[in-house]
């Protein structure tokens, strides 16, 4: 697509394709970042320095940052599959209480789309050193009360990682491509489990302890134990528009199979941290950016794209076969074209701009190009970019517009594009973006003016 001859101009009096109104700024407790963000954002929390360093190794352009409460962060960029992420990272120390407090602070400071807690854990059963555990559930195993005769009665409480991220993790586990993010792939290769884990305030060093026996008796499907995941997910659950997940690497085995003479504790912790962080960033790399939640919208509305429309966005229009990929989407192949801005005045010569910077060149844009030059693919990508930038877009097929029933068509289009939001609710939002594809097909100017207004 880089060789395609697409042309971009900016009409003076009206717009035919892209309208980008100002985002509504509502009163908010958020302190660190504007809601008008230009790229999706993730935050990764860790408990230990060894975990923090493993996460840090995946980022570029790192800068120091600090919250009003004094929490020290670093933030950098992560680029994969044509998508650039802004990523904040922080070391919060051990314990569920501290993890919950720092999760709340990180959410308010960064306003992320996705949250990760990445680090090490002790293996309870089935796992080996270096294996990765994606926590579908995290049990707070210390929840309960003391009965008469000082007998402790458990009251199981669990927090869940986001189901969509858990499903992504299962897919990534099957493909095995996450191993390529390691500097050296060990032999034997680490395994990945998507299973429950347990979380408490104690470090378990022996299987003879009362707490370990409690874990095996009352939480027998948990395969690892750690100290922060429950507090992290508990705090994140107050923000349903933000997806959160816990990912752990196994650094110790409580069943007593550690051998410090063969592999010292520091080496085991570094290995487990790097494996967990590599898997986390593979999730981020493969996360479809049109699925990022639109947190600028009232969470009670929080529209999600319909399954049919998601398939439309993914569809390349061509069948591809790849030995390592079951499905090739448009996002896997898309490369922004270079565009030429043509000014109204002939005295001003045209100049080139990269396609990914379209959003910075005016609120109303007209894109022109030859047949089969990739305009529809670009329109799909602009839709995804709009979602990523916290706008609420609508992609309209120009050739299907009929002025006599325009309002009905818009209502039907909203219904087929989004789930859980009506056309009336959609049109009341003031962060709308209108993208009209194939505008040359019988589209009258008054229709376009109506849409933009």
**357 in a structural domain:** yes
Contacts of 388 (CB under 8 A, 6+ apart): 39, 40, 83, 289, 290, 292
Q: Indicate whether 365 and 398 sit together in one domain.
A: yes
The arithmetic mean of pLDDT across residues 272-296, rounded, is 78
**167 in a structural domain:** yes
**348 in a structural domain:** yes
Give the residue from 229, 257, 288 where a domain finishes: 288
Give the residue from 266, 288, 310 where a domain finishes: 288
**33 in a structural domain:** no
**36 in a structural domain:** no
Tokens of 449: 């003016």
Q: Indicate whether 53 and 169 sit together in one domain.
A: yes
The whole-chain average pLDDT of the chain stands at: 76
Q: Indicate whether 278 and 423 sit together in one domain.
A: no
Q: Indicate whether 190 and 268 sit together in one domain.
A: yes
Q: pLDDT tens for residues 164-188?
A: 999 999 999 999 999 999 999 999 9
> Which residue from 446, 444, 445, 421 is spatially nearest to 432, judged by alpha carbons?
421
> Domain containing 129 — which CATH number?
3.40.50.1580
Give the residue from 227, 261, 288 where a domain finishes: 288
Q: Indicate whether 150 and 212 sit together in one domain.
A: yes
Q: pLDDT tens for residues 352-378?
A: 555 555 666 666 777 777 777 788 888
**252 in a structural domain:** yes
Contacts of 405 (CB under 8 A, 6+ apart): none
340 vs 26, more confident: 340
Q: What is the pTM of this model?
A: 0.59
Q: pLDDT tens for residues 258-278?
A: 556 568 999 999 999 999 999
Domain that holds residue 382: 6-22+299-452
- Lowest model confidence (mean pLDDT) among 56-70, 255-269, 277-291, 431-445: 431-445
265-286 vs 49-56: helix crossing angle, rounded to 10: 40
**418 in a structural domain:** yes
Specify the number of domains making up the chain.
2
Q: What is the pLDDT of residue 283?
A: 96
Q: What is the pLDDT of residue 349?
A: 54
393 vs 279, more confident: 279
Q: What is the pLDDT of residue 307?
A: 74
Q: Indicate whether 311 and 385 sit together in one domain.
A: yes
Is the predicted pLDDT of residue 8 greater than 60, yes or no?
Answer: no
Q: What are the angstrom distances between the C-alpha of 229 and each of 118, 166, 285, 403, 447? A: 9, 15, 22, 54, 52
Q: Indicate whether 364 and 277 sit together in one domain.
A: no
Q: Indicate whether 356 and 281 sit together in one domain.
A: no
3-state secondary structure of 309: helix
Tokens of 239: 């923000």
Q: Indicate whether 312 and 209 sit together in one domain.
A: no
Q: Indicate whether 165 and 269 sit together in one domain.
A: yes
Is the predicted pLDDT of residue 413 greater than 50, yes or no?
Answer: yes
Q: pLDDT tens for residues 26-37?
A: 333 333 444 444
The arithmetic mean of pLDDT across residues 327-333, rounded, is 68
The arithmetic mean of pLDDT across residues 317-331, rounded, is 62
Share of the chain above pLDDT 90, in %: 38
- Asked if 237 and 159 touch (Cβ cutoff 8 Å), the reply is yes
Q: What is the pLDDT of residue 403?
A: 61
The pLDDT-based confidence of 351 (bands split at 50, 70, 90) is: low
* Strand ranges inside 301-426, DSSP E: 304-305, 338-342, 351-354, 364-369, 392-397, 418-419
Q: Indicate whether 115 and 138 sit together in one domain.
A: yes
Q: Indicate whether 333 and 252 sit together in one domain.
A: no
Share of the chain above pLDDT 70, in %: 66
């Amino acid at each position: 697509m880089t060789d395609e001859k697409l042309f971009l101009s900016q009409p003076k009096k009206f717009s035919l394709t892209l309208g980008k109104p100002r985002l509504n700024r509502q009163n908010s407790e958020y302190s660190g970042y504007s809601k008008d963000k230009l790229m999706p954002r993730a935050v990764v929390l860790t408990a230990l320095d060894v975990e923090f360093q493993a996460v840090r190794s995946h980022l570029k352009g790192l800068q120091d940052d600090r919250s009003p409460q004094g929490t020290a962060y670093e933030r950098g960029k992560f680029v994969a599959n044509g998508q650039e992420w802004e990523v904040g990272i922080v070391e919060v120390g051990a314990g569920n209480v501290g993890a919950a407090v720092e999760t709340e602070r990180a959410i308010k400071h960064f306003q992320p789309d996705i949250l990760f807690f990445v680090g090490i854990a002790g293996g309870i059963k089935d796992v080996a050193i270096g294996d990765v555990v994606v926590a579908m559930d995290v049990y707070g195993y210390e929840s309960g009360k003391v009965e008469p005769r000082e007998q402790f009665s458990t009251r199981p409480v669990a927090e869940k990682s986001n189901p969509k991220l858990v499903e992504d993790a299962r897919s990534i586990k099957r493909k095995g491509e996450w191993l390529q993010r390691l500097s050296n792939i060990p032999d034997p290769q680490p395994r990945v489990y998507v299973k429950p884990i347990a979380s408490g305030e104690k470090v378990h060093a022996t299987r003879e302890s009362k707490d370990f026996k409690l874990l095996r008796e009352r939480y027998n499907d948990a395969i690892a134990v750690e100290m922060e995941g429950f507090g992290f997910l508990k705090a994140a659950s107050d923000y349903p528009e933000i997806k959160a997940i816990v990912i752990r690497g196994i650094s110790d085995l409580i069943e007593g199979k550690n051998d410090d003479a063969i592999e010292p504790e520091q080496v085991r912790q570094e290995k487990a941290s790097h494996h967990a962080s590599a898997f986390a960033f593979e999730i981020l790399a493969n996360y479809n950016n049109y699925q990022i939640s639109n947190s600028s919208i009232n969470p009670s509305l929080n529209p999600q794209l319909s399954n049919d429309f998601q398939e439309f966005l993914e569809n390349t229009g061509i069948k591809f076969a790849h030995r390592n990929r079951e499905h090739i989407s448009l996002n896997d192949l898309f490369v922004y074209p270079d565009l030429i801005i043509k000014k109204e005045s002939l005295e001003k010569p045209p100049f080139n701009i990269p396609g990914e910077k379209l959003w910075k060149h005016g609120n109303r844009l007209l894109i022109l190009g030859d047949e089969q030059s990739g305009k529809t693919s670009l329109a799909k990508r602009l839709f995804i970019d709009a979602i990523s930038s916290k706008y609420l877009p609508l992609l309209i097929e120009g050739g299907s517009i009929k002025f006599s029933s325009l309002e009905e068509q818009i209502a039907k289009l909203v219904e087929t594009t989004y789930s859980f939001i009506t056309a009336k609710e959609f049109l009341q939002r003031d962060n709308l973006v209108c993208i009209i594809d194939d505008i040359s097909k019988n589209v009258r100017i008054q229709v376009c003016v109506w849409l933009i207004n």
